[in-house]
Amino acid sequence: MHIYWTPIQQIVKEAPDTYTFQLERPDGFTWEEGAHTHFALEGFNKEDKPNRSLIRHMSISTLPREGVIGITTRIKDECSTFKSLLRGMELGENVAIFKTHSNVPLKRVGKNVYLLSAGVGLATFRPLVLDYLANGEGVPHLHSLNVDSSQNYLFENVFTSTDTFTAEFVDSRGRYHETVKTLAEDMDGLYYVVGSDDFLRETIATLRERGIPREQIVLDKHDFQMDEFLKHND
């Protein structure tokens, strides 16, 4: 396993409490849209065992062609040690990234794709949308539905509707589930879901109730974790 230590180049405030840490892209480091990585802070590997309080899974919210690695996260006043250390970091300081992998690349198989996310989960989908806007091959229509009770919707410059891409934001779980029920009238669509484990369970339940087969539900999970999430709804 290669650990890349790389400096923070820029910190972009996307919304209240929400920041994108733009990291320098190390030579030879690449990734697919939808990738997540292990994002770690100085000292995480000083002892025999890695210090988990200094490591978090994070999606990469940019594409390689943007030239930077974007990590988008919320840091509230009340936060973990990890987030509080991150908030205190300055440009030029190094962070580590390793074990980078995408479970959710855009499937271009002739089916409509629905991207369902909660809050900052939208970060996972930003590169899929950029990739699609550059090349729509194999996906007749792409739709994004994001629920964010703060109403501070992210990446609105990218999530802007076009002829074949539609972006929708709602501010309550109630409206979200009502909208998912309507989207799920497309029995042939692929449904990508990103958010907390509870959000995944609730969304899967809604989709399965509407008769969407589990093979058409795509989660940012390894295969063995997928079974755990999907088996309750069989």
In the complex, least distance from residue 113 CB atom to ligand FAD, rounded to whole angstroms: 19
For the record, the structure tokens of 106 come out as 């855009």
Helix (H, G, I), strand (E, B) or coil at 99: strand
In the complex, least distance from residue 223 CB atom to ligand FAD, rounded to whole angstroms: 14
* Closer CB to ligand FAD, 71 or 184, in the complex: 71
Q: Residue 37 phi/psi, 5° resolution?
A: -135, 170
Which residues lie near ligand FAD (CB under 6 A)?
A: 36, 56-59, 72-74, 76, 78-80, 82-83, 120, 123, 220
* Closer CB to ligand FAD, 102 or 184, in the complex: 102
Question: Cβ distance 23 to 97 under 8 Å?
Answer: yes
Q: Pairing state of beta strands 18-24 and 68-74?
A: antiparallel
In the complex, least distance from residue 7 CB atom to ligand FAD, rounded to whole angstroms: 19
The single residue listed with the structure tokens 């409490």 is 17
In the complex, least distance from residue 71 CB atom to ligand FAD, rounded to whole angstroms: 7
Helix (H, G, I), strand (E, B) or coil at 88: coil
Smallest Cα–Cα separation from 122: which of 4, 5, 15? 15
* Closer CB to ligand FAD, 57 or 232, in the complex: 57
* Closer CB to ligand FAD, 99 or 181, in the complex: 99
* Closer CB to ligand FAD, 84 or 162, in the complex: 84
Question: Cβ distance 123 to 61 under 8 Å?
Answer: yes
DSSP 31-86: --TTEEEEEE-TTTTSSSS--GGGEEEEE--S-GGGSEEEEEEE--SS--HHHHHH
In the complex, least distance from residue 118 CB atom to ligand FAD, rounded to whole angstroms: 11
In the complex, least distance from residue 103 CB atom to ligand FAD, rounded to whole angstroms: 8
* Closer CB to ligand FAD, 72 or 203, in the complex: 72
